[in-house]
Structure 1
């Protein structure tokens, strides 16, 4: 197999299914060594493909420079509109403003018929009770999560007790009544959920935990699901729609 053909096959493998994919697994699939896969990944990155990950943690294709821009089916467009309008309702101010800007950009770049469909969409999103406004700048927290930098903040729990935490931020989840951060807490030495409206004095540190975030987030979500299932098994049916609290700190 020529190297050009192998690079093409590697891109195909990265496009298929969820990541991350390990070099050993990709190498076994294509009949080459993991070392060859690492060299090929470096070559694809030089050619413009955006591939996240590192040796030992697997690779995920983020942006494929070989595929042309795609148009939208009408139902796909409706889904985008509904999703962005939901973000306008539940997102922090920066995210809500970005959702509105994205809608305006979509409208300006779509064919006339679809632009009209977006402008007069039959779908809308409205929340009569929005989540509590955060006391921190959520954009800084999102940036720290993407950059895989630990953050510090003051936290007040449900009982009113205050602590100072330093955590590895892994992801944000927007619930009906609150927005939460999933993180690895250095104080508790375990995964924890923190409500953003109970956080204050956020500081982004220079302590990096790259490239562990994707793997840690997967483990955290698995733990939360297991705790949720265990809680549901012993909870009356009327209470099973509440937001998960098992891992909340």
Structure 2
């Protein structure tokens, strides 16, 4: 890797995390810490707003964003394939967001490369019984990310309807449908909720009350 590529990758590494240390960068790029310091100084000299915070590491000044330099045709095709899956297996909001991301990718692709990927997209189709007539999945996704409590009206396998407040820790796709694994305050335990059985959903502006060490990987071990 030449120095220009290395500097660009160092910037992307800093951008992808809240803080990174020189030791972390040195190990990642198999360089000495002294070389990393020189590279960080070079980036600062060309105007990249790198900020150092004691005991935490390096970060980019808030609001600064480095756009991707380019995508290969293969990378764009991979994203088109994922977007096709999003269309069939997620909800309308997630599909809309993935479609928007693809349009942004189009702006950084060469015209001839985008023509190739556009041709490929017409040759991909996914069939699924999953229904996406709401945006519950994307709301759950945001609640997991922000650790916010969710209020739901849920219909169980027997058709009984209950009001629940849950703390979602993850989502799983199995048995041809999405499930959210969450701490249920009504049952005082972790429960598996089928997303398509959620009749109404509202993300409450309250953070989780419980510290969760239980994971969806722990849940899947019972199968």
TM-score between the two structures when normalised by the length of structure 2: 0.66
Q: How many residues align?
A: 181
Residues 179-208 of structure 1 show CA distances to partners (whole Å, capped at 9, x for unaligned) of 221212222333222111111232222321
Distance 2:163 2:134 in 1: 15
Go from structure 1 to structure 2 and tell me whether the alpha carbon gap of 1:161 and 1:194 turns closer, same or farther (over 3 Å shift).
same
Q: CA deviation at 1:108?
A: 2.8
| Matching of residue 226 in structure 1 with residue 204 in structure 2 | no
Partner of 2:74: helix, strand, or coil? Answer: helix
In structure 1, distance between residues paired with 2:210 and 2:85: 31
Question: Which structure 2 residues correspond to residues 1-249 of structure 1 after superposition, within 5 A?
Answer: 7-11=21-25, 39-41=54-56, 43-45=57-59, 47-48=60-61, 69-121=68-120, 124-127=124-127, 129-133=128-132, 137-175=136-174, 177-209=176-208, 212=211, 216=213, 219-228=214-223
The Cα offsets for residues 54-73 of structure 1, whole Å up to 9 and x where unpaired, read as xxxxxxxxxx97x8835334
Partner Cα distance (2:161, 2:90) in 1: 26
Q: Deviations over 1:202-224 (max 9, x none)?
A: 22223212895xx64xx322322
Q: Secondary structure at the match of 1:121?
A: helix
**CA 1:120–1:138: 2 relative to 1, 3 Å:** same
* Secondary structure, aligned partner of 2:187: coil
Q: Distance in 2 between matches of 1:7 and 1:99?
A: 32
What's the C-alpha RMSD, in Å, of the aligned pairs? 3.4
What 5-or-longer segments of structure 1 have no aligned partner?
A: 1-5, 17-37, 51-63, 229-249
Q: Which runs of 5+ in 2 are unaligned?
A: 1-19, 31-52
Change (3 A) 1:7 1:68: farther
Q: TM-score, normalised by structure 1?
A: 0.60
d(CA) in 1 for partners of 2:28 and 2:149?
Answer: 29
Measure, in 2, the Cα distance between the counterparts of 1:15 and 1:174: 36
Residues 54-99 of structure 1 show CA distances to partners (whole Å, capped at 9, x for unaligned) of xxxxxxxxxx97x883533433222111001110122211111222
1: CA distance, partners of 2:181 / 2:221: 15
CA distance in 2, matches of 1:198, 1:227: 22
